[in-house]
Amino acid sequence: MTIIDFHNHFYPPEYVKALETGSSNIKVTYDNENNPLLHYPGDYNILVPGHRDIDFRAQVLEKAGIDKQIITFTTPGTHIESPKRSVELAQMVNDSFARIVRERSDRFAALATLPLNDPAASVTELIRVFDQLGFKGVMVYSNVNGIALSDKQFWPLYEKADELNAVFYIHPSFPVGVEAMTDYWLMPLVGFTFDTTLAASKLVFSGVVEKFPGITWVLGHLGGAIPYLAERLDRGYHAFKECRENISCPPSTYLKEFYYDTVNFDIHALQLAIDFAGPDHLVAGSDYPHQIGSLTQMKNSIDQLQISPEEKAGIYGENAARLLALGPRRGQP
């Protein structure tokens, strides 16, 4: 059974060096173990070896029995920089990811990042990574400096992504209302999941998902609260005319076509998502190497699901392979 980890994060070493030596809104320091610390407004990340050393990471995956990872960038993203610097850093990250995939295609695939604070430049970079670098999808953030993904300024990006049949993976960023989440690590624990929920809901209600059907949407952290709240969104559609202005079907119709990664290691929550969207719309995810991520828990939680071996194989890797054209579908040569 092939295991593909769809949700994990990597910082290219040249990106970290660029932050240290060039203009940036991120401050870089080092801890007692010589791990870089990226300090940015409201938070910081500790870059352990798995975040920045691809050889180390490959060894970890070998020991853990993980066949492949879809590497992605992570917070704070390049959009907290000036637009010009955001473009430069996004290109740097994407070129690094492309090189890793060329050199280690047996172990890694990747999703691109975009300079989202410059929507026009994001269209240009989307075309570049698809046409020149061979990417099949991108990771976008749940909001862009407080601007919703559903905002009209991003629609030219979706128009081009629709033409390319792109995969758009939504990962949370600083939530709206983050000032209420500054203690107890509530920003990543609660705020991230609700910002993902908010982003997906607005993309549906705004008509983005219906208008651009060529885009395949994937939600991090099991979709936040989407599987749990979808019925309430449908009630809003039937109760309020504003919820029907831009869409022709109840929200759950669209949300069941989304994909959901399994970064929620509660088997009951996973089963709820399966009941909502179907096992063919879940992809395995670990959140490695973040502190609350776990390759082991990813595997253990999927193993415990009371589903067929074929459905389990889909969640473990075949669904992700189909999404990103990484190999033949089940039953094909």
pLDDT confidence bin for 211, thresholds 50/70/90: very high
Q: Is the pLDDT of residue 30 over 90?
A: yes
**Is 171 within 8 Å of 139 (Cβ atoms)?**
yes
Q: Is the pLDDT of residue 4 over 60?
A: yes
4-323 has which fold?
A: TIM Barrel (3.20.20)
For position 182, what pLDDT does the model report?
A: 86
- Give me the sign of the Cα torsion angle 84, 85, 91, 95: positive
Can you give the pLDDT at residue 188?
A: 87
Judged by average pLDDT, the poorest of 50-59, 71-80, 179-188, 222-231 is: 179-188
What pLDDT score was predicted for residue 43?
Answer: 78
Query: How far is residue 136 from each of residues 45, 67, 250, 275, 329, measured CA to CA in Å?
Result: 28, 19, 29, 28, 17
CA distance 309 to 59: 28
pLDDT in tens, 36-76: 999 987 778 899 999 999 999 999 999 999 999 999 999 99
pLDDT at 330: 35
Please, are residues 70 and 5 in contact by the beta-carbon 8 Å criterion?
yes
Hey, what are 106's tokens? 């047996």
The pLDDT of 1-8, averaged and rounded, is: 97
pLDDT above 50 (res 331): no
Nearby residues of 55 by Cβ (< 8 Å), 6 or more positions away? none
How large is the average pLDDT for residues 277-306? Answer: 97
The band of 332, judged by pLDDT with boundaries at 50, 70 and 90, is: very low
Please give the residue that has the higher pLDDT: either 107 or 178: 107
The count of other CB atoms within 10 Å of the CB of residue 246 is: 15
- The pair of three-digit structure tokens given for residue 160, joined into one six-digit string: 């081009």
Q: Average the pLDDT over 3-28 and give the result.
A: 95
- Contact of 310 with 299, CB cutoff 8 Å: no
So what's the pLDDT on residue 327? Answer: 61
Per-residue pLDDT, 328: 42
Tell whether the model's pLDDT for residue 329 goes beyond 50: no
What percentage of the chain reaches a pLDDT higher than 90?
A: 91
pTM over 0.85: yes
Whether 208 has a pLDDT exceeding 80, the answer reads: yes
User: What share of the chain in percent tops pLDDT 70?
Assistant: 98
